[in-house]
Structure 1
Amino acid sequence: MSWLKNLVGDGEAGGPKKEQMKKIKLMAAAAVVGIGLLFLGGLGDDKPDRTPPPVKEKAAANENRSNPARTAMASEEEYLSQRLCQMLEQVEGAGKVKVTVRLQNSTRTEYAINTTTGKKTTQEKDQSGGTRVLTEDTDSGQLVLVTRNGEETPVMSREVAPTVAGVLVVADGAGDPAVKARLFRATQVALGVEPQKVIVMARKAGE
């Protein structure tokens, strides 16, 4: 409290000064207590944020809805369209070509299965003394597995190509009947599709 002594002088100088010294000490103590209460009150007002953080799963779901994952069939359609387009552009007189391929289903893989066929026969007697014979088929199948690098994998028997639903070809040179016929035939042979599933059209001028 040296600053208090400097402010009011030596407390031993006289009674009035002692009284003044006492009042200043009380005021100083009250100020310290008030500051302390304000500080504690400020801490109490800082309530923790109870708002839950955004859920990552919800954000991922929203992203998937805005950018849906492409299906295997859509990927195959795009691949076939690009490959056929590249091939048809090599046809004489075709010019610029755009192709759209639509599939009924995607590529399907079939796996080898061991099939066991058998029959189970059971004789039963009824209350009247008669006998009846029950025959039950006991066919069963089991996937054929091979071990590679310590892991069992199924054995593929064959891969079934997708079924083409339709093909649209738009080409600069399709206005020429001879070029259109060549594009039509090339598309049929390339995809192995029926004629009614192929449409070849000329591109609009200026596009």
Structure 2
Amino acid sequence: MDVSRETMARLEIFAALLERWNQRINLVSPKDLAQLWPRHIEDSLQLAEDMPPGMPFVDLGSGGGFPGLILAIATGNPVTLVESDQRKASFLREAARSTGTNATVVAKRIEDAEIGPAGVITARALAPLPLLLEWAKRFLQPDGVCLFLKGRNAEDELTAARAEWHMTISRRPSRSSSDGVILRLSEIRRVKEPDRATGR
């Protein structure tokens, strides 16, 4: 993705801050630090073209800010970052402040987070798709979409997810990983909605 000079400057601020913090807490693995731009930042930026302009979104398991904070820097869309690790949450708050990004950090487990419905949910390398959809559905508007960065097991995960979920699937290959794929999932609903009386 081509970005403006202003956006690039903000991404460089983010990268420098991450490198400093990474000496104290494990935001990315030490061997990945040399590949921070292609492996993490550019990988995250791929989702920007799927983001509706200005739409607030929720990023699950934000970790070191991928993809949520990077997308918010690139698009200007407000983001809610859900990250249970308190030290990583502190980094995310500082990174948002330093880069002037409209980000709210929720330092709770995904299961415990209380967030209003969002039009877009993002996640990267967080959990197998059936579980990821279980988490995401809680925060997703009825007409919302999920944008997930997935690896070589994406098709197996989709097969497993179809046992529990109906959804419209769009996929395209990752530009930053030879075995990566970008999933855009919409019209997500359970194959069998639980009975409200019994919960089953």
TM-score calculated relative to the size of structure 2 = 0.25
Whichever structure has more strand as a proportion of its residues is: 1
Whichever structure has more helix as a proportion of its residues is: 1
TM-score calculated relative to the size of structure 1 = 0.24
Higher Rg = 1
